[in-house]
């Protein structure tokens, strides 16, 4: 096919060692822009759109096959560490010479997978693009992504693992909403009393010169704002 192929001697064990060495020793040089923000801000949707338009994207959730929250495994089968690292190395090799990459703000652990320490530290020290959408849009995004009507039992089970961290009367109302299928109300309460306070706490971890805030009415507006910001920062011209 006219493509250059490297052959690795030693079989699967040698390949695995090659993956580990790459992740531990090889620096990843592109600038990073990290999409961050409140739960439901459409960060994953934005990343997918950016990738479709030719932007270099490291989709960590796709590689982990997990959405990165207590509800993140619903409807999915999370990848193990070896599979995650193999996919990650392939993508890092692909974009190693790119001037920048975009990725989503994630904790060090995504489902069954753990980010390499060097990548996690670089991500945390990089420019954070905080996406702000109206609450009703965030609720819409969450309901569209998780499709709770089809995964009600799994959602109720997952909620049980965080219920103790929510004020008792609120937790009781969320549980009732989930049982009755009143998902918009349950999501709104989860955002207000669980996810948003945690996000506001982590916001203070980043220095002000590493924060950029994008306020938008919907995902189309947020997408255009991210594109314009990247163009200004990187002095590029990718046609949409």
Look at residue 78 and give its three-state secondary structure: coil
- Quick one: pLDDT at residue 239? 47
User: What is the arrangement of strands in the sheet containing 100-104, beginning at the earlier edge strand?
Assistant: 57-58, 100-104, 31-37, 127-132, 211-215
Q: What six digits make up the tokens of 202?
A: 């982590």
Q: Is the pLDDT of residue 8 over 70?
A: no
pLDDT in the model for residue 120 = 92
Mean pLDDT of 55-74: 87
Fold of domain 11-232: Rossmann fold (3.40.50)
Q: 88, 66, 67, 61: which is closest to 78 by C-alpha?
A: 66
Helix, strand, coil shares of the chain, percent, nearest 5, are 55, 10, 35
Q: What is the mean pLDDT of the chain?
A: 90
* pLDDT tens for each residue of 120-177: 999 999 999 999 999 999 999 999 989 999 999 999 999 999 999 999 999 999 999 9
Average pLDDT over residues 108-122: 91
Which pTM does this prediction carry? 0.87
pLDDT score at 86: 93
Closest to 226 (Cα-Cα) out of 134, 140, 141, 130: 130
Selected residue with higher pLDDT from 27 and 63 = 63
Q: What are 65's two structure tokens?
A: 């096959």
Torsion of CA 41, 44, 50, 52, to 10 degrees: -140
Contact call for residues 50 and 102 (beta carbons, < 8 A): yes
What pLDDT score was predicted for residue 205? 86
* Pick from 129, 145, 210, 213: nearest CA to 183: 145
How many other CB atoms are there within 10 angstroms of residue 159's CB atom? 20
Quick: pLDDT tens for 177-215.
999 999 999 999 999 999 999 888 888 889 999 999 999
Q: Do 45 and 236 contact (CB within 8 A), yes or no?
A: no
Tell me what pLDDT residue 223 has.
Answer: 98
**In the numeric block, which tokens belong to residue 116?**
């390499």
The answer to whether 186 and 171 have CB atoms below 8 angstroms apart is no
Report how far residue 182's alpha carbon sits from residue 188's, in angstroms, rounded to the nearest whole number. 11
Single out the residue of 95, 33, 42, 39 nearest to residue 223, CA to CA.
42
pLDDT of amino acid 238 = 52
- Largest Cα–Cα distance in the chain? 65
């Amino acid at each position: 096919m006219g493509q250059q192929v490297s052959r690795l001697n030693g079989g699967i064990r040698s390949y695995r060692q090659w993956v580990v060495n790459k992740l531990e020793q090889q620096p990843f040089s592109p600038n990073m822009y990290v999409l961050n923000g409140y739960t439901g801000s459409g960060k994953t949707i934005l990343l997918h759109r950016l990738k479709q338009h030719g932007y270099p994207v490291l989709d960590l959730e796709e590689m982990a096959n997990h959405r990165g929250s207590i509800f993140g495994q619903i409807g999915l089968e999370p990848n193990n560490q070896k599979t995650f690292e193999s996919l990650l190395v392939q993508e890092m090799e692909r974009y190693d010479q790119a001037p920048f990459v975009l990725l989503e703000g994630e904790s060090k652990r995504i489902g069954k997978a753990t980010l390499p320490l060097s990548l996690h530290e670089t991500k945390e020290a990089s420019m954070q693009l905080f996406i702000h959408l109206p609450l009703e849009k965030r609720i819409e995004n969450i309901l569209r992504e998780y499709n709770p009507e089809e995964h009600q039992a799994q959602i109720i089970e997952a909620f049980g693992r965080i219920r103790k961290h929510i004020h008792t009367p609120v937790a009781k109302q969320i549980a009732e909403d989930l049982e009755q299928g009143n998902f918009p109300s349950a999501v709104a309460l989860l955002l207000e009393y669980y996810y948003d306070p945690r996000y506001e706490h982590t916001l203070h971890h980043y220095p002000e010169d590493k924060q950029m805030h994008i306020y938008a009415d919907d995902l189309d507006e947020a997408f255009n704002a991210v594109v314009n910001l990247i163009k200004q920062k990187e002095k590029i011209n990718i046609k949409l």
